[in-house]
Homo-oligomer: A and B are copies of this chain.
């Protein structure tokens, strides 16, 4: 059950893990099942867990005064899930994270992380890489949201994360892309016509 995580680590750190390190991972990460519609993180709470998704999908969102959900992130297999800022700084998160399907994550608590992993070289390296990559991706998203039309954002998503379009219903993808479900629907239909 830790195989996908181990494989992921192997790939991210371009050198193989030692037996000790592998053992540490196996001991430290425990499987948690989250039923569809159940929360991994609640708005206002401090994110005390980091999770690696073995199976399933989750959505991260905020809720405005009118009760409307705004999807900030979607997560699927082999991704980390959690609110990094809340986790690292122990600050309350402004976001919900909710299982979108029945989901299995390998989790580690903040305490265990500090105690056992924080000082591991390979974890440091991983952590650095994650932050860096996340920053790169986010910068692109900022740029896209400023320069691209709704239509262009969709076709960008089709290139970047085609899985999302199959996996999540349109109204979720629409919100992730920063548009309404109606707009997304119209765009897709025009799209089909123009070919």
**Could you list which residues of chain A lie within 8 angstroms of chain B, going by C-beta atoms?**
62, 64, 70, 72, 84-85, 88, 124, 127-128, 131-132, 134-136, 138-139, 141-143, 145-147, 178
Contacts and interface: CB of A to CB of B under 8 A. Distances in A.
A146 B84 contact: no
A144 to B, nearest CB: 10
Given A141-B142, A142-B142, A145-B142, A136 B85 contact: yes
Give the oligomeric copy count: 2
A50 to B, nearest CB: 14
Nearest to A143: B72
Given A131-B128, A131-B132, A132-B131, A72 B145 contact: no
Given A72-B139, A138-B139, A139-B138, A178 B146 contact: yes
Q: What's the dominant secondary structure at chain A's contact region?
A: helix
B135 A72 contact: no
Given A62-B147, A131-B134, 9 more contacts: A70-B143, A70-B146, A84-B135, A85-B136, A124-B128, A128-B128, A138-B138, A142-B142, A146-B178
Nearest to A84: B135
11 contacts: A72-B139, A72-B142, A88-B132, A128-B128, A128-B131, A131-B132, A135-B138, A138-B142, A141-B142, A142-B145, A145-B145
B85 A147 contact: no
